[in-house]
Amino acid sequence: MIIKSLELMDFRNYEALNIQFGSGINILYGDNAQGKTNILEAIFLSATTKSHRGTKDKDIIRFGAEEGHIRLHLLNSENVESRIDIHIRKSKTKGIAIDGVKLKKATELLGKLNVVLFSPEDLDIIKGGPGERRRFTDMELCQLDDFYIYNLNNYNKIVNQRNNLLKDLYFNPSLKETIGIWDSQLVSYGSKVIERRQSFVDQLNDVIGPVHEKLSGGRESLRIIYDPNVSIENFEKELSASTDKDIKSKMTNVGPHRDDFIFMIGDLDVRRFGSQGQQRTAALSLKLAEIDIVKKLANDTPVLLLDDVLSELDTGRQNFLLDSIGDVQTIVTCTGLEEFVNGRLKIDKVFEISNGTLVDSK
Ligand SMILES: Nc1ncnc2c1ncn2[C@@H]1O[C@H](COP(=O)(O)OP(=O)(O)O)[C@@H](O)[C@H]1O
Ligand SMILES: [Mg+2]
């Protein structure tokens, strides 16, 4: 899959931008705060309907403007071209169209464009909190699996409604009987989330082992263990046993919204006992495994977006990352061009970005 061009209007600090990408490695360079990440954000949004920074729509629109637009042309592996249009509005939901046909639901966009985004925060995914690791899993699965989005959205809705009820119970204890209505739905959607997360971890383990072995020079073997808060078998029982605790704490304490994922190098829990180098290498392996998984599940190569990560890695890991890119279209941001021109990178196109404008391209 290749992104041919991206047009922005009143998106972040771009009043108007039109950029034509090459099919290989593309470099966006410029000083800090000029708008490089904003371009990757627009691409990420075109793939997932959401900003990877978690920004609300109204804050993505250029300051002072009423609405923003993204237009992206892509070419899939069968050489079929298509166009994604996104219309960002202040108080209404986004309007999205594929080839001029308006989508009924934003989620219909998922799968049209597949990207793997790698930003410096991802290097902390192992040492961060469980929420970070769930976010990674959910973002990936939501790009790849419509059923997962459906089940996860419903599950999250029900957790919220159940939590609201738990708060209301404080003032109105007679509502306690109604909690069972939420519990059965929570277990039903939640079990599907647990099941898919388990199979995702199995799929990841099929590819991450060899990737990490290479990355660590054959010294280490990496494996991910899914650590669900509760098993499907015990979900109903543990949830109902937790009712009194839930009422006291005014929140739902049992369910996959509390899941975690454990990264093991041999017998070592990398989050708790690994060195920073091991944690970062494991994170890099995870990202590289993600490319493989998208290739398999989506039957197409994803577009790789590297946001300022190369400067965070040592030369050995940089080289490994760049060597493993292969035939994947890649868009890299950086502040200095020199770090790339050491002859080890076949660069397709270079764009200089300054203050929300494309000042030079070659
Ligand atoms: N809604 C917005 N309207 C206008 N400018 C914005 C908006 N949101 C962010 N910016 C500007 O975008 C710039 C940051 O862009 P970014 O892509 O993160 O920079 P970098 O080149 O460092 O990756 C900042 O100058 C910020 O003020
Ligand atoms: Mg940036």
Per-residue pLDDT, averaged over 175-183, amounts to 90
- pLDDT-derived band of residue 151, with 50, 70 and 90 as boundaries? very high
CATH of the domain at 198: 1.20.1050.90
Q: Which residue has the tokens 């490695």?
A: 25
Per the domain annotation, does 356 fall within a domain?
A: yes
pLDDT, position 285: 93
CATH of the domain at 326: 3.40.50.300
Is 156 in the same domain as 26?
A: no
Q: In this structure, which residue's CA is closest to atom 24 in ligand 1?
A: 33
What residues have CB less than 8 Å from 4, skipping those under 6 apart?
20, 21, 73, 74, 75, 81
Per-residue pLDDT, averaged over 15-19, amounts to 98
Is 79 in the same domain as 198?
A: no
Q: Is 37 in the pocket of ligand 1 (CB under 6 A)?
A: yes
Q: Which residue has the tokens 């992104």?
A: 3
pTM of the full structure = 0.89
Is 319 in the same domain as 262?
A: no
Q: Please give the distance, rounded to the nearest whole angstrom, from the Cα atom of residue 32 to the centre of ligand 2.
A: 7
Q: Please give the distance, rounded to the nearest whole angstrom, from the Cα atom of residue 33 to the centre of ligand 1.
A: 6
Per-residue pLDDT, averaged over 343-352, amounts to 82
Per the domain annotation, does 120 fall within a domain?
A: no
Q: Is 59 in the pocket of ligand 1 (CB under 6 A)?
A: yes
For CA atoms 114, 347, 27, 89, the dihedral sign is negative
Per-residue pLDDT, averaged over 235-250, amounts to 95
- pLDDT-derived band of residue 325, with 50, 70 and 90 as boundaries? confident
Q: Which domain holds residue 164?
A: 127-297
Per the domain annotation, does 121 fall within a domain?
A: no
Q: How many domains does the chain have?
A: 2
The string over 66-102, giving b where at least 16 C-beta atoms fall within 10 Å of a residue's C-beta and e elsewhere, is ebbbbbbbbebeeeeeeebbbbbeeeeebebeeeeee
Is 212 in the same domain as 341?
A: no
Domain stops at, among 297, 324, 339? 297
Per the domain annotation, does 119 fall within a domain?
A: no
Is 58 in the same domain as 184?
A: no
> pLDDT higher for 325 or 212?
212
- Of 184, 279, 193, the C-alpha closest to 237 is 184
pLDDT, position 313: 80
pLDDT at 318 over 90: no
Residue type, 199: S
Domain stops at, among 263, 297, 331? 297
Q: For residue 319, give both structure tokens.
A: 């080289």
Per the domain annotation, does 160 fall within a domain?
A: yes
Domain stops at, among 266, 297, 328? 297
Is 221 in the same domain as 105?
A: no
Per the domain annotation, does 122 fall within a domain?
A: no
pLDDT at 336 over 60: yes
Is 182 in the same domain as 285?
A: yes
Q: Please give the distance, rounded to the nearest whole angstrom, from the Cα atom of residue 41 to the centre of ligand 1.
A: 11
Of the bound ligands, which one is closest to the alpha carbon of residue 38? 1
Q: Is 35 in the pocket of ligand 1 (CB under 6 A)?
A: yes
pLDDT, position 38: 98
Is 356 in the same domain as 211?
A: no
Per-residue pLDDT, averaged over 277-293, amounts to 91
Per-residue pLDDT, averaged over 181-189, amounts to 96
Is 256 in the same domain as 282?
A: yes
Per the domain annotation, does 187 fall within a domain?
A: yes
Is 233 in the same domain as 353?
A: no
Of the bound ligands, which one is closest to the alpha carbon of residue 17? 1
DSSP state of 311: G
What residues have CB less than 8 Å from 335, skipping those under 6 apart?
29, 30, 31, 32, 308, 311
pLDDT at 324 over 90: no
- pLDDT-derived band of residue 64, with 50, 70 and 90 as boundaries? very high
pLDDT, position 246: 95
Mean pLDDT of the chain: 92
- pLDDT-derived band of residue 323, with 50, 70 and 90 as boundaries? confident
Q: Are 200 and 166 in contact (CB under 8 A)?
A: no
Helix, strand or coil, per DSSP, at residue 280: helix
- Could you give the CA distance from residue 189 to residue 326 in angstroms, rounded to a whole number? 39
- Could you give the CA distance from residue 28 to residue 42 in angstroms, rounded to a whole number? 14
For residue 192, report the phi and psi dihedrals to the nearest 5 degrees. -70, -35
Q: Please give the distance, rounded to the nearest whole angstrom, from the Cα atom of residue 321 to the centre of ligand 2.
A: 19
Per the domain annotation, does 148 fall within a domain?
A: yes
